[in-house]
């Protein structure tokens, strides 16, 4: 079984589609997706996910599942081949969130926050063995075990959160400390990967060059 991660699919969201949006400044590529019709947008999402995530794989979705009415929750779910989909709530998942929502049954699990651990083959450098992941719809600056090499995955920002952007060349001043953007954190939203999910191994590989111990507060590798 392979494990994949994605977020912010926004299935059925007319305003995120260039051809149907009513938003101003729709030429801003960070706000809309380049499709003429909503059907094209939805079909592309389904095609991209099904191309990678097979029936018996596992998919973790970090929120903002669908738009356009609560019926699209099931419509989108039924179009995906994967049987094992877990949802971390996003701020637009209000129809799924209530405890008595029938839509919860469409997912293996639903939660606001999740921690996972995986055994990853160690490299020659010895940096990887057991990998600890934190899953949240929203990005965090510090998270559980961040000072011990854990990885924080998030969505919500659609690839626009500069402080956590993977390929940025502009480091940021925070207080009196200077940080090269080398955090073990990653936006896994579909806008960062041409609508495709990320495989666990792909995420781990991207993190190999990041700092094992992210010391941005009073915690360091010698503290719990």
CATH number of residue 137's parent domain: 3.60.21.10
- Specify the length of the chain in residues: 224
Residue 214 lies in a domain: no
Residue 116 has pLDDT above 70, yes or no: yes
Residue 88 has pLDDT above 80, yes or no: yes
Q: What is the mean pLDDT of residues 139-157?
A: 90
Spatial separation of the C-alpha atoms in residues 183 and 215, rounded to whole Å: 10
**pLDDT score for 173:** 47
Least confident of 104-113, 127-136, 156-165: 156-165
Q: What is the mean pLDDT of residues 118-127?
A: 60
**Domain total in the chain:** 1
**pLDDT score for 161:** 78
Among candidate residues 139, 179, 135, the one with its CA nearest the CA of residue 158:
139
What percentage of residues in the chain have a pLDDT greater than 90? 63
**pLDDT score for 28:** 59
Residue 159 lies in a domain: yes
Q: What is the mean pLDDT of residues 71-82?
A: 98
pTM: 0.87
Spatial separation of the C-alpha atoms in residues 12 and 2, rounded to whole Å: 27
Residue 220 has pLDDT above 90, yes or no: no
* Burial zone of 167 (CB within 10 Å; 0-12 exposed, 13-18 middle, 19+ buried): exposed
**pLDDT score for 224:** 67
What percentage of residues in the chain have a pLDDT greater than 70? 81
Spatial separation of the C-alpha atoms in residues 182 and 190, rounded to whole Å: 22
Residue 141 lies in a domain: yes
Judge whether 109 and 87 are in contact, CB under 8 Å: yes
DSSP characters over 83-107 = SEEEEE--TT-TTT-STT-GGGGGS
Structural domain containing residue 87: 3-207
Mean pLDDT computed over every residue of the chain: 85
Q: What is the mean pLDDT of residues 125-153?
A: 84
Spatial CB neighbours of 31, under 8 Å, sequence gap ≥ 6: 16, 23, 25, 158
**pLDDT score for 139:** 93
208 vs 67, more confident: 67
Residue 46 lies in a domain: yes
Least confident of 52-66, 69-83, 129-143: 129-143
Residue 70 lies in a domain: yes
Read off the pLDDT of residues 18-53 as tens digits, 9 standing for 90 and up.
Answer: 999 988 766 655 679 999 999 999 999 999 999 999
Residue 133 has pLDDT above 80, yes or no: yes
Confidence of residue 11 (pLDDT cuts 50, 70, 90): very high
Residue 217 lies in a domain: no
201 vs 208, more confident: 201
Residue 63 lies in a domain: yes
Residue 178 has pLDDT above 50, yes or no: no
């Amino acid at each position: 079984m392979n494990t994949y991660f994605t977020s912010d699919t926004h299935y059925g969201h007319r305003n995120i589609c260039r051809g149907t949006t009513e938003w101003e400044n729709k030429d801003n590529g960070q706000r809309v997706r380049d499709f003429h019709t909503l059907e094209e947008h939805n079909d592309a999402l389904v095609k991209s996910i099904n191309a990678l995530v097979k029936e018996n794989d596992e998919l973790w979705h970090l929120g903002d599942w669908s738009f356009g009415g609560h019926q699209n929750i099931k419509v989108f779910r039924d179009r995906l081949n994967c049987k094992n989909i877990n949802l971390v709530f996003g701020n637009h998942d209000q129809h799924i969130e209530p405890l008595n929502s029938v839509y919860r049954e469409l997912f293996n699990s639903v939660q606001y926050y999740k921690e996972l651990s995986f055994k990853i083959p160690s490299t020659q450098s010895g940096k990887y063995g057991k990998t600890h992941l934190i899953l949240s719809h929203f990005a965090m600056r510090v998270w559980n075990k961040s000072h011990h090499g854990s990885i924080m995955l998030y969505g919500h920002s659609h690839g626009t959160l500069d402080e956590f952007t993977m390929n940025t060349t502009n480091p940021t001043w925070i207080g009196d400390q200077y940080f090269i953007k080398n955090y073990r954190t990653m936006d896994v939203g579909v806008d960062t990967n041409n609508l495709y999910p990320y495989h666990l191994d792909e995420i781990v590989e991207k993190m190999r060059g990041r700092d094992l111990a992210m010391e941005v507060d009073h915690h360091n590798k010698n503290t719990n």
